[in-house]
Amino acid sequence: MHIAGFNPNSFVDYPDNIAAVVFISGCNLDCWYCHNKWILKSKDNYSEEAVFERIRKNKDFLDAVVISGGEPTLANTDELIAFIKKIKELGLKVKLDTNGTNYEVLLKLLPLLDYVAMDIKAPLDKYGEISPINPIQINNIQQSIGLLINNIECEFRTTFVSTLSIEDIFCIAETIKGCKNYYIQQYVPIEEYKEIKAHPPEYLRNVCKALNEKGYPCELRGI
Nearest-approach distance from CB 98 to ligand SF4, in angstroms: 8
Closest distance of CB 5 from ligand SF4, Å: 12
Q: Which is nearer to ligand SF4, 13 or 71 (CB)?
A: 71
**Between 31 and 84, whose beta carbon lies closer to ligand SF4?**
31
Least distance between ligand SF4 and beta carbon 53 (Å) = 26
* Shorter beta-carbon distance to ligand SF4: residue 17 or 131: 131
* DSSP letters for 97-154: EE-S--HHHHHHHGGG-SEEEEE--S-GGGGGGT---SS--HHHHHHHHHHHHHHS-E
Between the CA of residue 80 and those of 85, 86, 106, 113, 143, what are the distances in Å? 9, 10, 11, 12, 21
Distance CA 120, CA 102 (A): 13
Closest C-alpha among 138, 151, 64, 65 to residue 106: 151
**Cβ-based neighbours of 216, under 8 Å, separated by 6 or more:** 170, 173, 174, 177, 182
Q: How far is the CB of 57 from ligand SF4 (least distance, A)?
A: 28
Task: Provide, rounded to whole angstroms, the least separation between the CB of residue 102 and ligand SF4.
Answer: 11
* Cα gap 107→110, rounded to integer Å: 5
Nearer to ligand SF4 by Cβ, of 21 and 92: the residue is: 21
Using the minimum distance from each CB to ligand SF4, give the nearer residue, 70 or 123. Answer: 70
CB of 61 to ligand SF4, least distance (A): 27
**Which residues of the chain form contacts with ligand SF4 (CB under 6 A)?**
27, 29-31, 34, 36, 69-71, 99, 119
Distance of alpha carbon 218 from alpha carbon 182, whole angstroms: 5
Q: In terms of CB distance, is 45 or 212 closer to ligand SF4?
A: 45
